[in-house]
Amino acid sequence: MVVLGIAAVVPAGAGDMRSHPNPTKDYDAAVERAKQVIAADSAVAAPGGESILLVHGSKTPRAVVLLHGFTDSPRQFAALADSLYARGDNVFVPRLPHHAERGRDARQLSRLSAADLCRTGDAAVDIAAGLGDSVIVEGLSVGGTIAAWAAEHRPEVRRAVVIAPPFEVSHVPSMLEKPLVNLSSHVPNVTRRAAPDTARPDRDPGYTTHALAQVLKLGMAVRRDAPREIPARAEVLFLVNADDGTVKTPAVLDLARVWNDRGVAVSVYEFPDSLGLPHNILDPMSRRSDATAVYPTLEALAHGQSPPAWLRARR
């Protein structure tokens, strides 16, 4: 018990979560760098799990980065990427580290670190800088946390759409969140696997405790740095879900208030519980998903347009 108590209070390592920018200078350089990412994916990614690049042959007014959620793959955002591309955007959807690896399961996610997620955010913004005049970053779940991190650290980001970020998880008291993250990082990893879906080999059903701890460490870092790492030019749009049983909304509202008090253009919107949406609002296999409500909303927010009138604004 003493050892466990010490483990719960000793901070867990997460690697270097600082930004190391290396933005591409023009369209050709951006496409070449994105193709290198996709080529590297082809050696390890399961079918449908590769990074996605949709471009119009030249720089566009908007370059949109879409960041998928934990245990998912770029395919999660494929339909939205197609829609944004059809509206004239260049779009890049990177594969998160250790996700969608061919012939693997949730166990490989135990190697994930918060620093890995930051490097993915950095690399995606580096590429987008050469693809469009304005860089927009939109992410779901851990992808949303990366989008918030990018808004904090990268002045190239003009708009960040942060969807259901796991700053805190449901069913865990806020005061116990940090001790549990520390403890989970120090004790041996536990993997819980779920039955694989042969139709979606790009997904890693299940979870690992080490990876979840790192996801939460990134969220803690974003909130810790908020008073001093203020989004320089970005408009930040948070989107939460009243029926989300996975993550907590109050932590999102707290971050929004911190940035709003420091002059950042911040808005918070909420899907009403009447929709009954799951945490993964982009899961086409879920009977609770509602593409007619979700996709127009995500597209409008990415473009800085007014969302549907029924979407609730939070304060």
- Tens digits of per-residue pLDDT, 254-306? 999 999 999 999 999 999 999 999 999 998 777 788 899 999 999 999 999 99
For residue 12, what pLDDT band results from cuts at 50, 70 and 90? low
Q: How many residues does the chain have?
A: 315
Nearest by Cα to 120 from 39, 207, 20, 43: 20
pTM, full prediction: 0.93
In tens, the pLDDT along 119-177 reads 999 999 999 999 999 999 999 999 999 999 999 999 999 999 999 999 998 887 787 77
101 is written with which tokens?
């690896």
Dihedral sign computed on CA atoms, order 23, 26, 28, 29: negative
Q: Are 112 and 211 in contact (CB under 8 A)?
A: yes
Give the separation between CA 120 and CA 143, rounded to whole angstroms. 10
SS3 content of the chain, % helix, strand, coil (to 5): 40, 20, 40
Q: Output DSSP code: residue 251.
A: H
The SS3 of residue 71 is coil
Q: Which CATH superfamily is domain 2-8+35-314 in?
A: Alpha/Beta hydrolase fold, catalytic domain (3.40.50.1820)
The SS3 of residue 57 is coil
Q: Are 137 and 152 in contact (CB under 8 A)?
A: no
**The pLDDT of residue 160:** 98
Q: Which amino acid is at 64?
A: V
212 is written with which tokens?
């979840």
Pairing of strands 235-241, 52-54: unpaired
Q: Output DSSP code: residue 25.
A: S
Q: Output DSSP code: residue 167.
A: S
User: Helices (H), strands (E): how many in the chain?
Assistant: 9, 10
| Residue 272: exposure state from Cβ atoms within 10 A (0-12, 13-18, ≥19) | middle
User: What are the beta bridge partners of residue 40?
Assistant: none
**∠ CA(183), CA(186), CA(187), 5° rounding?**
85
Residue 1 confidence (pLDDT) above 60? no
Give the separation between CA 137 and CA 304, rounded to whole angstroms. 12
In the chain, where the domains are located: 2-8+35-314
**The pLDDT of residue 229:** 87
Q: Are 144 and 256 in contact (CB under 8 A)?
A: no
| Residue 15: exposure state from Cβ atoms within 10 A (0-12, 13-18, ≥19) | middle
**The pLDDT of residue 127:** 98
